[in-house]
A and B are shown apart, each in its own frame.
Chain A
Amino acid sequence: MDRKIRVVVAKPGLDGHDRGAKVIARALRDAGMEVIYTGLRQTPEQIVNTALQEDADVIALSILSGAHNYLFPRVMELLKENGADDILVFGGGVIPEEDIPFLKSKGIAEIFGPGTPTSVTVDFIKEHVKLNLENK
């Protein structure tokens, strides 16, 4: 049995719009991944605990509320505290260009803005998870 890539798709913060998250969940499913969908309004603590319990390789964060500069680094911080910062974390949603370098400096691997073809995200995950496993 080949190893399935497990992805937690989460919506941190308070915005109630999860169409993007659902689209990405669906695309990852069709790419053969196991997607754990947590739904709306998740705290960083919920997201990180979920990733630990689910043995996730990847956390995909979708956010539209503008709180990414707080919530994304908080997720990274909690992962580190739990010795789980090997988990690949990327973001999507409405995130201004100028915030991206800051988020990357905090350990977010990539930000995929609106209009990113889902195949780009799929390829990105496959490439990075493979590297991650090789380095383990």
Chain B
Amino acid sequence: MIAGDVSATSVSFSASDAAYAKYATLAEQCKAGNVRAIARLITGLENEERAAYAALNRFVGNGAVAQVIGITGPPGAGKSTLVDKLVARFREGGRRVGVLAVDPSSPFSGGAILGDRLRMQRHATDPGVYIRSLASRGALGGVSRATGAAVQVLEAAGYDIIFVETVGVGQSEIDIVKIADCVVLVSVPGLGDEIQILKAGIMEIGDIFVVNKADRDGADRVVREIRGMLETQYELSKGEKLEAVPDTLAGRLVAAAGEMEHHADVHAFDDKIPPVVKTVAETGYGVAELADAIADFFAKASESGSVTDRRIARARVQIKDLVAEHILERIENGPGATALNEMAKRVVAHKTDYYSASMLLLHEILLQEGAGGNDEGVKT
């Protein structure tokens, strides 16, 4: 499987492969900041072309590191308008900014109206800004399946700051934690009482909390309630080992996905309760404070090394997911399909049991890989 025919990191694609070659060229152009190449590579990723994913190996050793900021919250909370203002703010500092804005696909037609960038169009002619709309394409966690890979593309293309705006979320779409270094949770007044804030899920993943539309009635109450929630959390976690309170903040959701062990303390508050910032995105009120809070987060996190640790935790999850995906693919499409059929018949005929059959099948697939089987070529 790890064939080493393109580089040590290449996976079962040879350099002569036409599809890989096409995307590898695009990847090289991405590194030079070619906008069309960036756009096309992301499309390949969205279309789940394996060659596009394989071509991401061109970014290895590139050294570019971006700060990835997730912006999430309910529909209509003002996420896009806030991103627009933040982009302007970070551009003042001369940083190159990428935006990935996810909107939902229709479960019926598969089509989508991608309207986030409507609020950001003043940046369309700024060469230091790249904005890409992504349709969720059936993914239910608030981002699309290609979003994480698209972040890698923008990072390699030299964008210093990458905003990932999720679809408007409800209570449990939290896949943004698998992508972002820093999650900004945008809330607005009038969504419900204190109990909503106490509930599990979305309210647990914020590194920074924003109460947008703060010129509306009830904004201060929402701020108080969020602070109350966070302070309680902080008190609970103080003096105890954080492992004992496995129910706060971004990375701990990754932990819940089965990966943390020694990373448990990484997602502590860095001795600080997450800030709650009041904004009125429309007028720009509070945006400077929010940008400062983001900068502050990264300053502290890089000091403590927690961003790297979070990234390692996320990478583990992602590698694991991919391994599972590869194995399943080999069972469904590769020579494993025949073996699977055989095993199924044997189970039904009481010649073996499910568990033994699964182990045998796994063994068989791994053996085939070991024999250097790049047997299914490129599917696009």
Contacts and interface: CB of A to CB of B under 8 A. Distances in A.
Nearest to B36: A52
Q: How large is the interface on A (under 10, 10 to 19, 20 to 34, 35 or more residues)?
A: 20 to 34
B16 interface: no
B102 to A, nearest CB: 12
Interface string A1-33: 111101000000000000000000110111111
B106 A29 contact: yes
Given A28-B111, A30-B111, A34-B135, A53 B35 contact: yes
A133 B329 CA distance: 28
Interface string A28-53: 11111111111100110110011011
B124 A36 contact: no
Given A26-B113, A29-B113, A54-B132, A39 B118 contact: yes
Nearest to B134: A34
B139 to A, nearest CB: 11
Contacts of A29: 106, 109, 111-113
Nearest to A82: B36
Contacts of A1: 46-48, 137
Interface stretch (B37-45, B89-97, B186-194, B263-271): B37-45
Interface in B72-115: 105-106, 109-115
A9 B125 CA distance: 17
Contacts of A36: 114, 117, 133
Nearest to B106: A29
A26 B109 CA distance: 11
Contact of A55 (B43, B114, B118): B43
A32 B35 contact: no
A2 B135 CA distance: 13
B124 A49 contact: yes
B302 interface: no
A84 interface: yes
Contacts of B36: 52, 55, 82-84
Contacts of A43: 125
17 contacts: A2-B47, A4-B47, A4-B110, A4-B135, A29-B109, A30-B109, A31-B109, A34-B105, A34-B133, A35-B114, A39-B121, A46-B121, A50-B121, A53-B39, A55-B40, A55-B42, A83-B36
Given A29-B109, A32-B109, A53-B39, 20 more contacts: A1-B137, A3-B47, A4-B110, A4-B135, A25-B113, A26-B113, A30-B111, A32-B110, A34-B114, A34-B133, A36-B114, A36-B133, A38-B117, A38-B118, A42-B121, A46-B124, A54-B39, A55-B40, A82-B36, A83-B36
Interface of B: 35-36, 38-40, 42-43, 46-48, 105-106, 109-115, 117-118, 121, 124-125, 130-133, 135, 137
